Structure 1
Amino acid sequence: MDITSQFFSFCSYPQITLIFISSFITDHLFLFFKLFQSIIELHLLKRMRTEFCCINIMKYLEYTPFDRINAFLDHLNFGEHTIKGSIEAYSCKHTVSDKRLSLSLENEILNYLGNSPDVESVDSSSPVNYLSSRSSRKTLIYLILTLYHMYPDYDFSAVKAHQFFTVETWHGFKQIFDSYMSDASKEWKETDEDTSLLETLHKALDEVINLAECEIYSYDPNSDADPFIEKGALWSYNFFFYNRKLKRVVSFRFSCLSNLLSDGFHMGGIYYDEDGEIFDDMDM
Structure 2
Amino acid sequence: MKTVTVDYGLYSVIEETAKSLYIKALKDLPPDVRQALQNAYEIEEEENPKKILSTMLEAIKISDNKQCLLCQDTGIPLYFIKIGSRLNIDIPRLQKAIIRGTERATVEHPLRSSVCHPIKRTNHQTSTGYRIPLINLDFVEDGDNLEILMVPKGSGSENMSFLKMLIPAEGIRGVKKFIIDSVLEAGANPCPPFVIGVGLGGTSDLCVKLAKLAAVTRPLDSRHEDPDIAALEEELLEAVNQLGIGPMGLGGKTTALALNIEYAYTHITQNPVAVNIQCWPARRARAKIDVNGKVEFGY
TM-score (norm 1): 0.25
Structure whose alpha-carbon radius of gyration is higher? 1
Higher relative contact order (CA 8 A, sep 6+): 2
TM-score (norm 2): 0.24
